[in-house]
Structures are given as structure tokens and as C-alpha cells.
Chain A
Amino acid sequence: MTLTQFLVLLLPELVLTLVALVVLGLDMLWRNGNGSRHLLPWIALAGTVALLVAAVLIWPLGSTGGAAITFTTGKDFGGDQTPMMVLDPLALFFKLFTAIVLALVLLSSGNYVRAHIRFHGEFYALILFAGLAMTLSAAATNLLMIYLSLEFLSITSYLLTGYLREDERSTEGAVKYFVYGATASAVMLYGFSLLYGATGTLDLASIAAVLTGSVIPVHWLVYPALIMVLVGLGFKIALVPFHQWAPDAYEGAPTPVTAFLSVGPKAAGFAVLMRLLLTALPGFQLDWISVLAGVAIVTMTLGNLVALWQSNVKRLLAYSSIAQAGYMLIGLVALAPEAHSWTTGLNGLLIYLFAYLFTNLGAFAVVIAVENHTGSAQLDAFAGLMRRNSFLAITMFLFLLSLIGIPPTAGFVGKLFVFGAAIQRQMIMLAVVGIVNSVISVYYYYAIMRQMFFGEAPDAPPFDEGPGLRVAVGVAALMVLMIALYAEPFIRLASDSVSLLAASF
């Protein structure tokens, strides 16, 4: 393919990279005493907007059929065109997704960064790079590319987690995150190698082709490979039993980073998981469905039960996000091949992700606001929030309802779709477990509500959360309601995004 095509198809990623580099550069320039560093977050924000615009610009190219992005190996090596990434609806969806994540995180991190972090520029740049990694991983169709993008995402995440160098929790969280992550990715890599060995190719589509038509008895290799790949992706999504790093990392990381971690890597992981399983391993459906079903149940249950005990809101939300991932997984487990029905499971998964994006980032934005003020993310920091800042309290309440899945909030639509898929596939068990869990979850979400509305904080003055956070929280809250009350466009977006995948399946 020609360079121009190449550049056009990669436009969003390129834009993002560019902005990230610019931020870095400006940081260098402004390092010494120049007062205009406060512009950096806004530049970064502009970058996310640019990403959004770019994504929208090239939308037509990808929305239909999808366009492969290939790298040409040199002439002496046969010069064959190896497809590395693809610009298809799913990829586009996640570009959009990433843009929103970045925007919300950046909006809500302004004050926090100013208060706690020395190197602003690097921080923002890293976040942008992490976003870049997300878009890449969502688009990758080649094991190599997948590995690269995920590693990219991981390394940036490690660094962001450990960014509070003076805070021992932060560094400790980073170490654990790193050790765990590196190991997990090594395992995944080993899985990739086996998969390659079994099929002789790294391209997902061709893997499927080989496996379906192959005569050589290599299937025995595929299942172990599958398992090992699941370890890597399970780590990214924080599925039980690959979740244990999450609470520590989340608690230790700077709260904006926690917000990002609770959404970004999860989403990327799901994107890759979907693509990998549906494109490369459709033939092994029975295997991975059964495994994932088990994982989903364990994830939901354990996440919720352990969350009951947390007194630190960051950690509590960490476990909650683990449980949420469990619900989303139902969508993948109960995916319905017949794409015509209202819920294909996959679209449920995307809707849920989308709802979760706004809900969770909104919730974390509130946590950041409270932490900025009280300097603590313990439960009692939320006492009497309703009196001190009713806007935050009400929106937080909304987010919590959405996490529980009570209408009229986005979370309800998400649950409606994934549970719907489960029932459609006659996986009543899954649905029931999910329902029971969402009831259990009320207990710990209630703990926060209780503090906000019923708790009394005598000597806590009212406070103002600042413009950035206000916008972030407001937008998130608005979307949470929108997705429930005006669900149509979002449902369609999700359904379109997975249409190709579901069809190829």
C-alpha cells in the first residue's frame, strides 16, 4: 500500500503521537521557571480532541468492510504484504473510546497533578502514549502487533503508576504491577509462540484459516496457547484469578492514573480478547467459552465479596471494577452468532464498556475532587458530602446507581444487554449469578451513599471542585443519563462496531 494511504489510515495515531511529543518538548522548554506550564493539560486535551476529529474524519474508510493496514517486508524477503492492523468499526469504536477516556482523565487530573506531581509534561505525555497504545492494540490484527501494543500500554502504565516517587504506596504498587505484568506478558508471549508454532503465521485471520483447514495435528498446541494468552489478557482486564495486582496498583497509583487504569487497559484487553478469540480461534469456541464462563462467574462473585470489606474508596472501586469486568465478560461468553437479534452479546459488551467508561471515570473524578480537598480517599472522607458539595454528591450517587445497574442510568442498559444475551443463550445460571452479584454490590456502594447523604461531617466546610473536574463530572453524569434515556444511537454504534466481527464469526 502506498505511503499516503498508510498515513491516512494511521492519521489518528499519528496525530496523537505528534501531540504527545509536542507536550514533551514544551515541557522541556518551559521546565525552567516559565509560567506557562499550566497550558500543558490543555494542549494534551487538544490532542485528544484532535484524535477524536481524526477518527471521525477517517470514519467512512473504516466503517464499511474495514481497511487493512499492512507493512511491506523488504524485497529480499519476498516483499509480501503482512497485515498488521486494521481500520474497522471495532478499531474506530476504540479510537473514539480512547479519545473520551483521555479527555475525561485529563480534565479531572489538572488540580491533582499540580498538587502532587513534579514533571507535568512527562505525565501528560505518558497518558497520551498510553492512549496511543490503546488505539493500536484495538486495531492490531497480528500477534506481533498485539504484543507490541500491549507491552507499550503496560510499560506506560507501570511508569504512571509509580509516578508519585515520594509516595511509597505508589512505588510499591508500581513494582508489583510491573513484576506481575511483565511475568504475565511473558507467559502470553510464550502462548503466542506456541500459537505461531501451531499455525506458522502471526496474522489472526490466517491463523483461523490454517486451523480450520489444517491437516497437520497441531491442535494440541492451541489449547495451552489459548490458556497462556488468556493469562496475559486476563491480567490486562484484571479478571479473577489474574486480578490480584489491581487493588494494590489502583490504591497506590495517583488517582487520575487509577481512573485511567480502571478503564483504559481493561478496554484494550477486551478489544484484543474479542478480536483474537473471534478472528483467530472461532473453532475453539467450546473451549474458551467454557473457560471464560467460569472466569466470569468467579470474577463477579469474588470482586463483589471482597469489595464488601474495603474502607478505601480507591481500593473499593478497584474491586468493583473487577466485578464489572466480570459482567462484561458475560457479553463475550454469551455471544450470539445470529447478528440480527437485538443483543449479540458483543454489542452488549461494548455498550457496557461505554457505560462503564463514563460511570467509572465520573466516579473517580468525584474521588479525585474529594481527595484534592480532604487529602484522603478513605470512606469517611465522603461524610456529609451532600452538604459540602451537593453537585458531587448527586452525581456520585448517579454513578453508583449506574454501577449497580439501576435505571435510568447507563449501567442499566449495559446489564440489560449482557444479561439479555445470557438469557438468549439459555445461560440462565450466568444471568442469575450476575443478578445476585449486582444485589450484593449494593452493600458496598451503599457504604459510599451512606457517608454522602446520611453521614455528618461537622467541621467540613463546603468546597468547590474546580472547572476541569466540574466539566468532567458533569459530562460523565450527562452521558450516564443519556445512554439510558436516549439509548438508540449508542446501541447502534455498538452493534455496528461488532457487526463485522460477529459476521466473520
Chain B
Amino acid sequence: MNFPFLTLITFIPLLGAVVVALIPGRREREIKLVAVLFSVPSLVLSLIAWLLYAQNAGEIKFLEEATWIPTLNAYYRVGVDGISLPLVFLTTLLTTLSLFYSSYTIKKRVKEFFALFLLLETGMIGVFVALDLVLFYIFWEVGLVPMFLLIGIWGQPQDRPQYSAIKFFLYTLVGSVAMLLAFIAIYMTTGTWNILQIPGLKPLAGNPGLAIAAFWAIFLAFAIKVPSWPFHTWLPDAHTAAPTAGSVVLAGVLLKLGGYGMIRILLPFFPDLFKQFAPWIGVLALISMIYGALVSMAQWDLKRLIAYSSVSHMGFFMLGLVAAAASLEVANPVLTSRAIALNGAVLQMFNHGIITGGLFFLVGVIYERTHTRDLKAFGGLSAKMPVYYGVMLTTALASLGLPGLAGFISEFMVFRGAFALIPTYAIIGVVAIVLGAAYILWKIVQHVFLGEFSEERWQEIFNPAHWHFSLDMARFEVITMAPLLFFMVLVGIYPAPVLNVINAATTALLAML
């Protein structure tokens, strides 16, 4: 396989960003078109890559290597396996959808928006494909900057966008600089940045104190991104302030960067330490799950609610990860349990991307019409916007883990693994499922869709002059949601296509530790 899939997937958007930047700013139509078109190849290629990959199990594929900074022994090294591939696809999919959606909804500073968004895509994909710590770090930070601007410039004034933007920026930066030190320390002992080799070289094995410091430093960086309690507070603000597409990518992909990092770097580099600290990380996971659910139950701002629900759902992910890391045994029954847990974790990331991404699109749908997200302002919409009700209900149910939809599969696998390996945590964790049902149905469905529809209230929030599409979901909104719904149902009913890829990789990974 010498066709440079990943390089193209990663850098075509960058090229697109440049092209967009060169188009004169007033030609908005062309800009939007070009931006969307430039995001499509990556999507197609990543899909092809997935299909090609599906046949062969476990190991890294589409590997590309080129010397980059010899003195630093840093390489341009990219490749994917079953863990990163779904996430790459997720990224390309959500980006294309976001760009498509935004081409209808973004009105101000169009050129900058689309250029930045494509740049952001490059950064995110890069993180998933990079197999060299330096490269990884660079992509990691590259993604940071555009998102910072997206939030700051296109955020709604009432949500203090600049404040949220800098908060997001600082939080992430704190984590990543700590991570940088840890990476350097690792390089000192192993002499390589190669993510695939380092686990074999037992980094910092000689220096326990430093190893622990490095472990927590890296953990911090990823935990902030995931985000795990108590590093989560940038999330609600960032989500609330960001424009719809921004929130979608933020929840759909950026959170996954952290999760992916934990699986790809933290776990393989320090399996023993991870095992040793698993109890503590597990506690964090539990707190994230339950606390996140509780807090989102207290929200009256739709976006904030979903943001906090992300905290809860990524808690599930961490629980699965902890379960997988809680034992290093590779004898079969245990290995299977660990693999299931890790599969659940990875799938949870994928699902959360699809579902929560969708939820944010749907918030956008109502926000674009009414310019409010206050749950108290709605009610009885299901009669007014039946299609919207149907779509939102499906997505929401997927989010609360209703069997038959995507969310359930990953939750089930996570808990399957957790019950086998860390029963106590699992028993506590299930509370989050009940709470999940509570805030989704009680807050979202009840307040927005059920109840009495009041015409006058509607009149004061909905101004037809500002909305040129149909009252119920417009065609472009339906088109945006369709692929996501498709995956929710597909994964919910027949997850094998996705899980085959993931399972192979996770099993290989765990067996390697």
C-alpha cells in the first residue's frame, strides 16, 4: 500500500484552507463551495481506507515514513489501525457535514471561518494519524489555534465568546506543555519519538519518580481534553459560545483527541503505572459520569446541558479504558473482557461523536430559528415541527443508550468489561444510566417538545424575517443529519462493521502490553 492515503487525507484540507484564503473575501458563494468540496476528498479517502483496512486485522496500516529532522531523530511517520481509523472517518465526516451546514448558516467573516475550519480539520486528523511524538504534538497544537478563533470570533455575544475562547486555549495549553516535558523526558531515555517503538523500550523504567511524573503530566493533557472531572469546566463555556459547527466538531472530535491519546500513548507507554493508578482514574471516571449527568440535569440552557452530558458520556469511555487497564493479564477470558471494555471505550468515542455531534446540529436547528436556547422558552414543538421532533427524539434516545441505537452497544460493552474487571466501579456507574434517561427525557424532550404549545411565546422568539427556510427542519438540515442517523441505527442494530476493525486493533494492543 504505497498510495499516500493518510498524507492526502490530512493535507488536502490544508490545501483547501490556502485556496480559500486566496479567494477574495466578498465572493462568499465560491468560498463556501470550495471549502465544502475540499473537505470531501478526505471523507471519501478515509472511507476507502476503512474498507481496504477492514480485511486485514490488528496492525498499523498505510504506514508512511520520511526523515524529517534527523538530528532530532524526528520522522514524518503516519499510519492508522482499527483504533484511529474510525476516528479519522468520524473527523472527516463531521467536518464535511459541519462545513455543509455552515455554508447555510454562517453570515459574518465567511472566508476566515471556512479557512480556519479546514485548517482545524488538518490538525485533528493529524493527531489521529501521527505516529511520531513530535508530529503528534505539533498537530495537537495546530488544532488548538483555529478552534480558539472559531469560538472567539463567531461565538454569540451573550455567551462571552472571548472569555470562553481564552479559557479553552489556556486549559489545553496547560495540559499540552506538561505533556511536552513528559515527551522530552521519554525521548531522553528511549532515544526515539516513535510511538510504536517506545512501548517496547519501557520508557523511564529506570527512574520511577520521573516516570510517575511523566505519566500524570501526559494524563493531565489528555484528561483536560477528554474532559474528565475536574478538568471539564472549559467545556460548557466553549460549547455554549462556539458556533454550531464549532460545537459539533468540538464535541464530536476534539474530545476524542484526548481519549485517543490515552489509548494510543498513555496506556501503551505506561501499562504498569496505568494499572497501578487505575483505581484513581476509575474514580475520576465515575465522578465524571454521575456528576456530569447531575449537573446537566440542572441546566436550562440546551447547549450547556448537552455539553455536560458529554462529560458524563466521556466518563463511560474512561470507565471502559480503566477496566481494560485494570489488569495486564493476557490469558483468554480476561483478555476478552479487557478487549470488550476497550472496544466499548473506542466505540463509545465514535458513538459519542456521531450522537452528540448530531445533538449540537439539532440545537443549531432550533437556535437558528429562535435565537434562544432557553428550555423554558419552548414547549409543544412536536406538534409544530414533527420531523424535528422525530429526529431529535431518535438522537436523544441514542444518547441515553436505548437498545437498538448506537449508544447502547458501547455502554453495554463498557459495562460488560467493567463488571468483569472492576465490578464495584461498574455497580456505581450504572446510576449514571438512569440519570442519563432523566435529563434527556425530562429536560430536553419534555420541555422542548411536549406540553402546551403557546402561540404568543412562539411569536416573540421566532421572527420569520430572519429565517428563510421551512419552519420544520429544512432540507439542508435533514441532509446534514441523515448520515448521522444512519450510523446511529447501523451501529445500534449491526455494529460488526465498525467493531471488527476496532476489535482487531484493541486485542492486538492489549496482547502487546
Contact present between A and B (CB < 8 A): yes
Closest beta carbon of chain A to B143's beta carbon, Å: 11
**Interface residue B194 (Cβ < 8 Å from any Cβ of A):** no
A406-B173 in contact (CB<8A): yes
B181-A419 in contact (CB<8A): yes
B69-A487 in contact (CB<8A): yes
Given contacts A446-B169, A454-B153, contact A406 B145 (CB under 8 A): yes
**Interface residue B263 (Cβ < 8 Å from any Cβ of A):** no
B219-244 interface mask toward A, CB cutoff 8 Å, 1 = contact, 0 = none? 00000000000000000000000000
A432-B170 in contact (CB<8A): no
Given contacts A406-B173, A438-B177, contact A424 B188 (CB under 8 A): yes
Residues of A within 8 A of B145 (CB): 401, 406
Complex Cα–Cα for A342 and B74 (A)? 11
Residues of chain A in range 120-159 having any CB-CB distance to chain B below 8 Å? none
Complex Cα–Cα for A83 and B177 (A)? 45
Closest beta carbon of chain A to B50's beta carbon, Å: 28
Residues of B within 8 A of A435 (CB): 177-178, 180-181
Complex Cα–Cα for A404 and B173 (A)? 10
Q: Choose from A342, A423, A450, A487 the contact partner of B162 (Cβ within 8 Å).
A: A450
**Interface residue A299 (Cβ < 8 Å from any Cβ of B):** no
**B67 closest partner in A (C-beta):** A488
A487-B138 in contact (CB<8A): no
Given contacts A406-B173, A491-B72, A495-B71, contact A423 B153 (CB under 8 A): no
**Interface residue B245 (Cβ < 8 Å from any Cβ of A):** no
| Interface range on chain A (Cβ under 8 Å from partner) | 20 to 34
Complex Cα–Cα for A374 and B398 (A)? 56
Q: Choose from A408, A438, A491 the contact partner of B142 (Cβ within 8 Å).
A: A408
Closest beta carbon of chain B to A206's beta carbon, Å: 34
**A405 closest partner in B (C-beta):** B177
Complex Cα–Cα for A438 and B141 (A)? 14
| Interface range on chain B (Cβ under 8 Å from partner) | 20 to 34
Closest beta carbon of chain A to B122's beta carbon, Å: 11
A342-B72 in contact (CB<8A): yes
B70-A488 in contact (CB<8A): yes
Complex Cα–Cα for A450 and B213 (A)? 34
Residues of B within 8 A of A453 (CB): 149, 152-153
- Most A CB contacts (10 A, CB to CB) among B144, B145, B161 go to B145
A492-B138 in contact (CB<8A): no
A491-B181 in contact (CB<8A): no
B142-A407 in contact (CB<8A): yes
Residues of chain A in range 409-449 having any CB-CB distance to chain B below 8 Å? 412, 416, 419-420, 423-424, 428, 431-432, 435, 438-439, 442, 446
- The 29 listed contacts between A and B (C-beta, < 8 Å) are A386-B112, A405-B177, A406-B141, A406-B144, A406-B145, A407-B141, A416-B180, A419-B181, A423-B181, A423-B184, A423-B188, A424-B188, A432-B181, A435-B180, A435-B181, A438-B177, A439-B170, A442-B173, A450-B152, A450-B162, A450-B166, A453-B149, A454-B152, A484-B138, A488-B69, A488-B70, A491-B69, A491-B71, A492-B71
Q: A412-B138, A438-B177 are in contact. List 18 more A-B contacts (CB 8 A).
A: A342-B71, A342-B73, A405-B177, A407-B141, A408-B138, A408-B142, A412-B141, A423-B181, A428-B181, A431-B181, A435-B177, A442-B170, A442-B173, A446-B169, A453-B152, A454-B162, A491-B69, A495-B71
